[in-house]
Structures are given as C-alpha cells and as structure tokens.
Amino acid sequence: MSEHKIPPVQAAGFWQGAKDSQAIIFTYLPVSFAFGVSATQFGFTPWEALFLSCSMYAGASQFLVVALLGSGTSIWMTALTVIALDIRHLLYGPALQNLIQDKLDLKKTAFWAWGLTDEVFASGMIKLSQRRQEWSESWMLGVSLFSWMSWALGSFLGGLFADQVSHLPQFLQAALDFLLPALFLSFLLAAFEKKHTLIVAVCLIVSAIACYFINLSAAIFIGILSGILAGLFKHYILKQHDDEFGEAHES
Amino acid sequence: MNLEIILVGIIVGIANFASRFGPFYVIQKHQQNSQKRGSVWIKIALGSIGIAAISSMLVVATLPPLMETPNKSFAMLVGFLTLAGLYFKFKQIVPATLTAALAYGLVYTYLPFSF
C-alpha cells in the first residue's frame, strides 16, 4: 500500500510578492498618474508630486492635499484632515495580526507596514485567509514595496507628462476611471466566502448610505464598523458560528 | 522645493506610518508579556474587518462617480459583469480587472446608454 505524503507548502518569498503585486501596480500607475496631473494643475512640480507620494503615500487623500494646499489652507489643517481621513489604517494591523498569529520580526514588519494601504491590506488578507502557509513577511514586503514604487513612479510621470493626457484615446481615458472599482470588486470576489454573506450585504448597504449622506472617509469607517457588528450579530444572536470561532468558543 | 510641502509630507508620513505599524508593535510587545489568547468577540470583530473594509472600499470607489455622472451606470454594469465573468472563469485578478476597465471605457465612450 503506497502512502501519499503531502509536501509541506513553501512560504512565498519577496519576488513572488513582487509578482503578486501586479494587480495593484496596474491600478496604482494610472491613479497616481492622475495625482501627478492634478498636482501640476495646482502648481506643484513633478518633484514635489514625487516627494508627496514617497513621503505620505496616502492614496486618494493626496488629491485632497494638493487641493487644500493649492487653495491656501494652512499646513496644519491640511495635515490634520489627511490624518483623520487615513485613521482607518489603525484597524488593518490588528485584523492582519489576527490571521498571522505568529511572532513577527518587527524590523521587517516596519518596512512592509509602511506600505499597508487599502489595496495592500486587501491583498495580504486574501493571502492569509486562503493560503495562510504561503504568507511570509518577505512576500508582504514584495507586495508592499512594489506597490509603493509604482505609486511614486506614476505620480512623477503624471507630473512630467500632464499635458499629454488629452492625447490618449477617449475610451482609454474613460477606462482609467474604472480601475479602482474594478480592483476592489476583484478583491471582493477573491476574498468572498459564503460565511461572509451577511457582513458583505450589511457593509455595502451601510457604507452606501454613509457615502451618500456623510462623506467618503466616514463611509469606509462606518462600513467597517457595521461589518464588525454584523459579524458579532451573526455569532451571538443568529448563533451561526464559523469554524475557527466555534472552536475558540468551545475552548 | 516648497517648505510647506516638505512639512506636510513629513507630518502626514509619520502619522500614516504610526497608524500602519503602531498596532503591530503594540500587539507584538503585548504578546511577549502575555500568552493569553484574545476573547471570542475580539476575534470575530478582527475577522470581520478585512471583508468589511473591501466591501466599503468598493462602494466608496463606485458610488461617488456614479452619483456625479449617472450616465455611467450602464458602462459600470457591463464592466462589473465582465469582471465577474472573467474572474469566475479564470480566477485571475489582473486580466479580469484590466479587461473590465477596457470594457467600461469602450461602452462608456461608444455606447452612451444609461438606465
């Protein structure tokens, strides 16, 4: 009788992370290019756009920075506004750590956590929830570093070639607008499991209402909070226990 | 380079780094001192954050342009359907995302139809 031994799954390394960051790179390049164009329109140089992207790496909030600074808002008010917009990032570390569960090398973590944007977080979360054994800090560093470089490069190129955008075919210009929604739907499809149905439904509805009546950043935060409440409601009121929580409940 | 820009970049950069790395640092230091596992409700809450954040970001990326320009609705529907179809067929994010964006661009530009 032959015994089949399943070979241990090898953790993905830095270059695999770089390869897996492709989806983010293809989305970041045009979006950050648009940031570079916007910065130039507000009177910033390409080098200043590059500096802002490298130093704050704040995604969509950077559009607000150039608009606020360009309209004469004080640097403190600008900084506080952007910090308030990005406060949701505080939730990402605990959420990932909950899935990682191993001890981290804090020096390495500091490098990849620097690049823990919404998209990098989503990518890491999908890896951890579906192929936890393949996840490694080196893989995360690859995803994070290449995403950051693409964001910085796109901003610089946008600043340099701001006046060339209008020469692109119109359908390509339109296509760029849809990259972010498409990326997030891809992440949602990749991360979705049947057990998430209630959380996703509640989040979509609540964040849409918050987006309509309040503002974008509040909508993400309120959406996440409603998702947490939906998860707790499902466990404690509906008594639908997911495997991992069910085990923890019994222990 | 303008001093204001350098200051804003550094201040926001430090704040962003603190909000992204800070929680890992605190959790790791806490785990060194205590081997206790967290309670069930915390695990449920943390386990819900990821999928909740992705769902919320999808809404925030989709809704504002749609509210601003309602005639994007049909093109967006075509884009999302293309993406879902390609993703379920090939299970690959990059080609599905790019093809969906292209489909959206073509429909929005050449088939200006809305609900």
What is the secondary structure of B74-98 as a DSSP string?
A: HHHHHHHHHHHHHHHHH--HHHHHH
Give every CB contact of residue A30 below 8 A, 6+ residues apart in sequence: A154, A176, A179
Of chain B, the percentage scoring pLDDT greater than 90 comes to 44
Query: Domain spans of chain B?
Result: 1-36, 37-68, 69-115
- The torsion region of residue A240 among left (phi > 0), alpha (psi -120 to 50) and beta comes to beta
pLDDT of residue B77: 95
Q: Poorest-confidence range of A226-240, B24-38, B56-70?
A: B24-38
Which of B51, B55, B104 lies closest to A175 in CB terms? B104
- How much of chain B, in percent, has pLDDT values that exceed 70? 92
pLDDT of residue B34: 61
* pLDDT at residue B18, as a whole number: 93
Q: Given CA atoms B44, A136, B14, A37 in this order, what sign does their dihedral have?
A: negative
A105 to chain B, minimum CA–CA distance in Å? 9
Residue B36: pLDDT above 80? no
Per-residue pLDDT band for B100 (boundaries 50, 70, 90) equals very high
Give this complex's ipTM.
0.86
Closest residue on chain B to A176 (Cα): B101
Amino acid of residue B110: Y
pLDDT at A85: 76
Give me the pLDDT at residue A247, please. 44
Q: How many helices (H) and strands (E) does chain B have?
A: 4, 0
- Residue B78 with chain A: CB contacts under 8 Å: none
pLDDT at residue A250, rounded to an integer: 36
> Number of Cβ pairs closer than 8 Å across A and B?
306
Among partner residues A52, A94, A178, which is closest to B23 by beta-carbon distance? A94
Residues 57-116 of A with CB under 8 A from B: 57-58, 61, 65, 69, 75, 78-79, 82-83, 86-99, 103-104, 106, 109-110, 113-116
Taking chain A (251 residues) in consecutive chunks of 10 residues, what is each chunk's mean pLDDT?
60 91 91 87 89 88 79 80 82 88 87 92 90 90 96 94 85 87 89 91 95 82 92 90 54 31
Say which of A90, A115, A244 has its CB closest to residue B23: A90
Distance CA A190, CA A182 (A): 12
B residues 70-109 near A, CB within 8 Å? 75-76, 79-80, 83-84, 87-88, 93-94, 96-98, 100-102, 104-106, 108-109
The whole-angstrom separation of Cα A216 and Cα A219 is 5
Q: What is the mean pLDDT of residues B10-35?
A: 85
Residue B114: pLDDT above 80? no
Closest-approach residue (CA) in chain B for A215: B60
